[in-house]
Structure 1
Amino acid sequence: MNYYQKNRILLIGFFVVVLLLISIAGLVIPQSGKNFQKVFSNIPNDNILGLSKLIYNENEKKQDEFLSKLEQLNNKMMAEQARRLDRLEEINADLLRQVKVLKNSSPGLTLRDKLIYLHPYESSVRFPAYIWQSWKHGLNDDRFGELYREGERQWAAKNPGFAHEIFNDDTAFAVIKHLYISVPEVVEAYELLPEVILKMDFFRYLILYAKGGTYADIDTFPLQPIPNWIPENVTPDELGMIIGVESDSNSRNWREELVRRLQFGQFIIQAKPGHPILREMIARITENTLKLKSRPEDIPDDLKLTGTTNEKSLKILKWTGSGLWTDVIFNYFNNYIQSSIYQKISWKDFHDVKIPKLVSDVLVLPKSSFASDLEVSKDGKIEDNLAFAKHYASKLWKNT
């Protein structure tokens, strides 16, 4: 209570006392004003102040009682809220324990079932705002080339608000062990892969399956922000993945360099976590790698990249690269249960495609979208609305 409030109460109390005295005086001595003044003048000043103090103290007492009750009520509500929070924490901990049990469920489950339990697919969620990249050198390493360094800077600059992470060999393996601790087959297969390029391929599928977002090879350069990739006539809820055509050969000798005449690229992928295509890629790479390990006496070189440069390239494409990637995508398109597509889908449906094509929940972009040959102007303007990134195709596997 401040100074003015106190004075106001005192003043009111004083007037009440005065009115009371006037009333008494009027009853006792009604005959004349002179007698009233005489009676009033005979009341000591100390008595008047005492009455006013009595009234003030009574008001202050009531106010203190009210504040005390209010404080008790507040304390009761806070205690109840704390009990509810504790209960919610117990429920959350119990749910986490149950999820852990599911993730480490019966050993009789297939690899694919384990992966489904680990990261179920929900198409209605948004694309997570992650950008993942991997390279054998860290950003502070002098061997991290300026061309790649500028690409890395531009991925971050053009996508503010996105979490952007670059992994090297050691950090990538540490993350995979953490994310797939309940599926030891995956971790074992990752560790068995004999070359860094194979692990880099495997890593992109593993990180996207667990976390979602966008993976981009270190030799890519963004031309437009990631949100620009989705056409205006397509809603993000319809999508589970965005990919681009990597190669679309018209040569009769395409088998010398490619596994499939038309191949989808995996140097840039945007996906939602748990997507079935990623799950199947992880399962196939894991099974194929562990199968090679189980019979090394029969095929001693199958866990190695041997042969000529071209032979090595084809082996990578079939083992972890865009050859296997393309096969898995077409299998997904032609699996009605997964894709809800009635008609047969083949490479011809994407041959010489010039505009984005939505098939099931996969948006397929033209070759020029993720491998544009546009030169970046000084003002940064992009004339081609479908040019989203450049790919330098540096044959990274030769240098890993």
Structure 2
Amino acid sequence: MPTFRKSLLAALCLFAFTFFLRSTRTPDVPGAPGYKPVHKISEEQEAAELDAARLKATKGWSQQPLTESSLAPLRDRLRYQFPYRLENRFPAYIWQTWKYTPASMWFKDEYRVTEASWTELHPGFVHDVITDDLQRNLIQYLYGSMPDVFEAYESLPLAVMKADFFRYLILLARGGIYSDIDTLALKPVREWLPEPLDRATVGLTIGIEADPDRPDWHDWYTRRIQFCQWTIVAKPGHPVLRDMVAYVTEEALRMKREGVLKKGKMDKTIMEFTGPGAWTDAVFRYFNNPAYFNIQPGDRNVTYEDFSHQTTHRKVGDVVVLPITSFSPGVGQMEAGDTDDPMAFVKHEFDGTWKTDPSL
């Protein structure tokens, strides 16, 4: 029979071991936008797991076994899996996607120039062109603890949707630069932000795709101000990416349950589901979310008017919005400058391969 001294020693050892485990975690950063302390997420998961166990023990229980997706809301699981550290440096990754890698004879010659521009201007960066098969394996690896996310990706009926979804998924998990294969890098990313700006206060850099100041703008674009998603720079775990991943996952699985997640049957267009319309909405949701910004009663929302006719950098919280010239130089409209403009950073060749993709 254990003595009191032995019991006390065992309790002290257990306390020390628990303290050691907690002390080895990455420190909490309560000031980081969108950050929720790891211990808080753990408490929520433990509570949900306990509630599920109690329910299962109740007479008449006949539901499916407890699964990962039933433990906590998707956004909480994403926050726990990919915490946001605002003060961290941007990871030196460049992500692009295409059907083949540059090593393949089937890789388009015109893409060799655009793809190489990113490597040439970013020595020391890890630059990967991810093929369709590798996309699937990478998502399965990164989101293995969230089968609903992988199911949503697998269920998307069009290749362009999977390519859209992948950019949000990879940036949320790993961060860095995502840019379409038909984009030409004009300046290295270190020159995209003005020198006086503290990089430790920036978690996401995006650009304006369209600023159509005309009455029929809705015939050409999905939003009055539209943010492009062919080039995005982000630190891993950013709340906008988390929101976007959750939105696409939830909408995909909803349409799948309703039997409409099929070509020609979906109740959302590509633009509104995975494309720039949905992306723009996610950015504005973030700007107007009191969980991330000190919004007082009577404050007006951040709207397209805050970015229309923008000609230089504009910072909102930890997000830097670049003018249309930065990612769309030379388009000859909407006040965009040319490729020799000081604010021109990326030129999009607008190959539009998704429009002729045989899977559409």
TM range (shorter): 0.7 to 0.9
Structure 1, 164-173 or 389-398: larger mean CA deviation:
389-398
Per-residue deviation, 1:339 = 3.1
**Which structure would you say has the larger RCO, counting Cα contacts within 8 Å and 6 or more residues apart?**
2
Structure 2 letter corresponding to 1:180: Y
Offset of residue 256 of structure 1:
2.3
Aligned to 2:292: 338
The residue aligned with 2:355 is 398
2:276 aligned with 1:319: no
In 2, distance between residues paired with 1:398 and 1:163?
A: 29
1:202-281 equivalent positions in 2, closer than 5 A = 202-281=165-244
User: Offset of 1:305 from its aligned partner?
Assistant: 4.3
Question: What does 1:2-151 correspond to in 2, within 5 Å?
Answer: 106=49, 107-151=70-114
Provide the C-alpha distance between the structure 1 equivalents of 2:295 and 2:172, rounded to a whole number of angstroms: 23
1:193 aligns with 2:150: no
More helix by percentage: 1
CA offset digits 1:306-342 (Å, max 9, x no partner): 69xxxx9x81110100000001100100112213355
Residue identity in the other structure for 2:284: F
Please state if 1:361 is matched with 2:318. Answer: yes
Deviation at 1:251, TM superposition (A): 2.7
C-alpha root-mean-square deviation of aligned residues, in Å?
2.7
2:305 is matched with 348
The separation in 1 between residues aligned to 2:209 and 2:295, in whole angstroms, is 23
Amino acid at match of 1:340: N
**TM-score normalised per structure 2:** 0.76
SS of equivalent to 2:80: helix
1:172 aligned to 2:131?
A: no
Task: Please say if residues 45 and 72 of structure 2, whose CA atoms lie closer than 8 Å, have aligned partners that are also in contact.
Answer: no
CA contact (8 A) 1:239 1:362 kept: yes
Q: Equivalents in 2 of 1:257, 1:201: separation in Å?
A: 20
- For the Cα contact (< 8 Å) 1:333–1:341, is it kept in 2? no
**How far off is 1:361 after superposition?**
0.6
The Cα shift of 1:393 comes to: 1.6
1:181 aligns with 2:138: no
Residue aligned with 2:89, SS: coil
Give me the whole-angstrom Cα distance separating, in 1, the residues matched to 2:141 and 2:355: 29
- Offset of residue 135 of structure 1: 0.7
For the residue of structure 1 that corresponds to 2:291, the secondary structure is helix
Q: Cα deviation per residue 1:262-315 (whole Å; 9 max; x = unaligned)?
A: 10001000000000000000000000000001111xxx4x432469xxxx9x81
Match of 2:31 in 1: none
Larger Rg: 1
CA drift at 1:207: 0.3
User: Cα offset for 1:399?
Assistant: 3.2
Residue of structure 2 in register with 1:304 after alignment: 263
2:282 to 318, 321, 328: 328
Q: Distance in 2 between matches of 1:211 and 1:316?
A: 25
Partner SS state of residue 214, structure 1: strand
Q: Is the 8 A contact 2:115 2:184 kept in 1?
A: yes
- Distance verdict in 2 for CA 1:143–1:358, change over 3 Å: same
For the 8 Å contact 1:104–1:182, the answer to whether it is kept is: no
Residue by residue over 1:331-371, the C-alpha shift from the partner in whole angstroms, topping out at 9 and shown as x without a partner, is 10011221335542000100010011001110000011011
Q: Does 1:295 align with 2:254?
A: no
Displacement of 1:257 in angstroms is 2.9
Q: Give the conservation status (yes or no) of the 8 Å contact 1:305–1:315.
A: no
> What letter matches 1:230 in structure 2?
L
- Structure 2 unaligned runs (5+)? 1-19, 26-37, 50-69, 332-338
Residue 385 of structure 1: which of 338, 342, 353 is its match?
342
- Three-state SS of the structure 1 residue aligned to 2:229 is strand
> Given that residues 194 and 305 in structure 1 are in contact (C-alpha distance below 8 angstroms), is that contact kept between their aligned partners in structure 2?
no
Residues 45 and 71 of structure 2 are in contact (CA less than 8 Å); yes or no, is this contact kept in structure 1? no
For structure 1, which runs of at least 5 residues remain unmatched after alignment? 1-90, 375-381
C-alpha displacement of 1:253: 2.1
Number of positions where the alignment pairs a residue of Structure 1 with one of Structure 2: 293
Shift of 1:383: 4.2
